[in-house]
Structure 1
Amino acid sequence: MSIKEPYEKLFGFTPELTEKRHNFSAEVMPEILEIHEVFRKKCMNSNILDEKVSQMILFAILSSHMRNGARVHAISSRRLGATWEELHSVANLVFLFSGLSAMNFSISILSDLRNEEENSKGL
């Protein structure tokens, strides 16, 4: 399995920052890159939480910190079957602990993704 395959499966692409980390680390410290990826895989692929729930939790955590990575986890949540209502419920939880600005951030991501999905269906 290539190092990019899990990202392609989840998101449909490799996020730019991840790709830069992969490229630089593969050249400078490949053994550390391998350790990072094994650890990431172990954390994200739990036998306890299903993949959709894990991705929705990551969307919530990153949204609460208003981090751009929230977008890729919203994308993967949708690819794994999350509904807009489920993702809005996640944004509601973000509001409880991180406030209106963080909820606005997460809803903005969801709104943009919904528009992108609708536009891609029209092609």
Structure 2
Amino acid sequence: MSHISLDMDAVRSEIGEYADTQTALSEREQAYKDLVGFVPPRIAARLAVTGAIDPKLLRLQEEVRNHALYPACFDTKTAQLIVFGMLLARLLDAATLHARAARRAGATWEEMQAVVSLAYLYGGIPSANRGAEIIAQLAEAESKDRLDTTVKA
């Protein structure tokens, strides 16, 4: 996944402060932290920029996102597995974030591979390769996190 590095103080100085008076920036960020574990850089940029310039549009974007991402008929794990597969079949880098969210919501390695297999049917070997890479990166990160937790304990 490509990462952007922004000096958010410079952004706020140039564009202005977050201006949504209905929902605090920290509350918006928490929704992403709960789902993915952190606020991805592109999302942080959208929250800061659109939240300063057009807070009404940001509210609408987040309302639609929440409505679509958390349908009553699916649990979070299922929705995240679906989104992971959709993004993976299109080889979009956000697939990594939704794979992580699926794992955080309880998806097993077998379920993750099943999604990669489905994406492969429509996206071919590139989807299979990218999906395996994402799973391997998640496994490595989870192993490192467990090791770090054990060492600190």
User: Would you call these one fold, judging by a TM-score over 0.5?
Assistant: yes
TM-score class, shorter:
over 0.9
| Greater RCO structure (CA 8 Å; 6+ sep) | 1
* Aligned AA (1:71): T
Residue equivalent to 2:127: 102
1:8 maps onto 2:64 in alignment: no
Residue ranges of structure 2 left out of the alignment (5+ in a row):
1-22, 149-153
Identity %: 28
**Segments of 4+ moved more than 2 angstroms:** none
CA distance in 2, matches of 1:119, 1:30: 38
CA distance in 2, matches of 1:101, 1:12: 27
Residue ranges of structure 1 left out of the alignment (5+ in a row):
none
Q: Which structure has the larger Rg over C-alpha atoms?
A: 2
How many residues end up aligned between the 2 structures? 123
Deviation at 1:40, TM superposition (A): 0.4
Residue equivalent to 2:16: none
* Aligned AA (1:54): A
TM-score (norm 1): 0.96
Residue equivalent to 1:52: 77
Q: CA RMSD in A?
A: 0.9
CA distance in 1, matches of 2:147, 2:75: 31
User: Which one of 21, 42, 45 corresponds to residue 17 of structure 1?
Assistant: 42
